[in-house]
């Protein structure tokens, strides 16, 4: 997600978020803004400067700094502003415009079902519905019955994608079979915790991945980071920063071979356990000190007085205030 105001100000770090890698055969960018003029101008710039297949407008982000500016899920309380943004943007660029929403702003006051037909009329090509309200943040389970209800009400011209707690090919298959009207499912935290989920869906299997195979994925990530940011001290520490943020999610994965019940659910809070080898045990630790140890295996010793605290609170389990 890139903020429209930062893009319009020419912030290099924000524009870097929109860079496409040569391996990406289908690529869209998500932008977040509060007003039709800023979102439309940003979409125009992206259309001119970037190689993208679609532009997604975020109307679901729950974090305070975004909501307080009138963007993200704040827009769910302002349907006429939603209308203006979608109409203006879809009328300005040729690329498909898609929208990401939550069920509503307040818990128990879902409103996307009453807007789903309009969202299609306003010019959106697709809408992704995260089955939680803004007030829920990441607590409780996503409401897939409500997502299905919206998908069944949507016009033929609007593709509907469901989002929330997909963590295995079993979850994926269930949602697709329960509601054929769904175009697809979006995977978010599940891909951070176990990025091989896409292999599992494609091959329809539970992959009992070894700690060595998981370490190889981290090595690939670090290699890409050093290629991207450079292998000088600054490049190493930038790569380490993003690696540590990622490790604050990956520790939640429980190896298939250790599960009593398969598949693991995203909201399970697993007990502390010993892995089948020392590395698997280390990878299961919820301690930032152990995440730093893993980073040192890949990037060398951290600087003196180095500390780390995760920035993204969606890695936590069930605290409603998490953003």
Predicted TM-score (pTM) of the model is 0.92
Confidence of residue 323 (pLDDT cuts 50, 70, 90): very low
User: Quick one: pLDDT at residue 301?
Assistant: 96
Reported as a single tens digit per residue, the pLDDT across 43-55 is 999 999 999 999 9
Asked if residue 285 lies in contact with residue 230, where contact means CB atoms within 8 angstroms, the answer is: no
User: Quick one: pLDDT at residue 235?
Assistant: 96
User: Quick one: pLDDT at residue 9?
Assistant: 97
Reported as a single tens digit per residue, the pLDDT across 283-318 is 999 999 999 999 999 999 999 889 999 987 665 554
Dist CA 96 CA 151 (whole Å): 19
End-to-end alpha-carbon separation of the chain, Å?
14
61: annotated active-site residue: yes
Confidence of residue 139 (pLDDT cuts 50, 70, 90): confident
Reported as a single tens digit per residue, the pLDDT across 35-79 is 999 999 999 999 999 999 999 999 999 999 999 999 999 999 999
Evaluated on CA atoms 225, 226, 230, 233, the torsion sign reads positive
User: Quick one: pLDDT at residue 320?
Assistant: 35
DSSP string, 199-254: HHHHHTS-----HHHHHHHHHHHHHHHHHHH-SSHHHHHHHHHHHHHHHHHHTT--
Residue that the structure tokens 């091959």 belong to: 203
Reported as a single tens digit per residue, the pLDDT across 154-171 is 999 999 999 999 999 999
Name the catalytic one among 4, 32, 50, 61. 61
Residues listed for the chain: 323
């Amino acid at each position: 997600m890139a903020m429209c105001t930062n893009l319009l100000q020419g912030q290099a770090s924000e524009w870097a978020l929109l860079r496409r890698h040569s391996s990406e055969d289908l690529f869209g960018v998500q932008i977040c803004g509060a007003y039709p003029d800023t979102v439309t101008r940003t979409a125009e710039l992206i259309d001119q400067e970037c190689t993208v297949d679609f532009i997604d407008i975020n109307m679901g982000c729950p974090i305070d700094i975004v909501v307080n500016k009138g963007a993200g899920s704040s827009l769910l309380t302002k349907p006429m502003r939603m209308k203006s943004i979608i109409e203006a943007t879809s009328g300005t660029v040729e690329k498909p415009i898609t929208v990401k929403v939550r069920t509503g702003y307040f818990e128990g006051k879902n409103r996307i079902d009453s807007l789903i037909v309009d969202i299609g009329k306003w010019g959106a090509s697709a809408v992704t519905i995260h089955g939680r309200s803004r007030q829920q943040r990441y607590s409780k389970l996503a409401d897939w019955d409500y997502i299905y209800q919206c998908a069944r009400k949507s016009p033929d011209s609007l593709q509907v994608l469901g989002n929330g707690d997909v963590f295995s090919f079993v979850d994926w298959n269930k949602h697709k079979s329960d509601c054929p009207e769904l175009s697809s499912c979006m995977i978010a935290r599940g891909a951070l915790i176990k990025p091989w989920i896409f292999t599992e869906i494609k091959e329809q299997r539970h992959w009992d991945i070894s700690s060595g195979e998981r370490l190889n994925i981290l090595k690939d990530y670090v290699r890409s980071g050093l290629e991207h940011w450079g292998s000088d001290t600054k490049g190493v520490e930038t790569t380490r920063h993003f690696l540590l943020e990622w490790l604050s999610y990956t520790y939640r994965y429980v190896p298939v071979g250790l599960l009593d019940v398969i598949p693991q659910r995203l909201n399970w809070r697993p007990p502390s356990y010993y892995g089948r080898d020392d590395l698997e045990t280390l990878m299961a630790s919820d301690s930032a000190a152990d995440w730093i140890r893993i980073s040192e295996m890949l990037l060398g010793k951290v600087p003196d007085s180095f500390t780390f605290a995760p920035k993204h609170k969606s890695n936590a389990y069930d605290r409603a205030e998490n953003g």
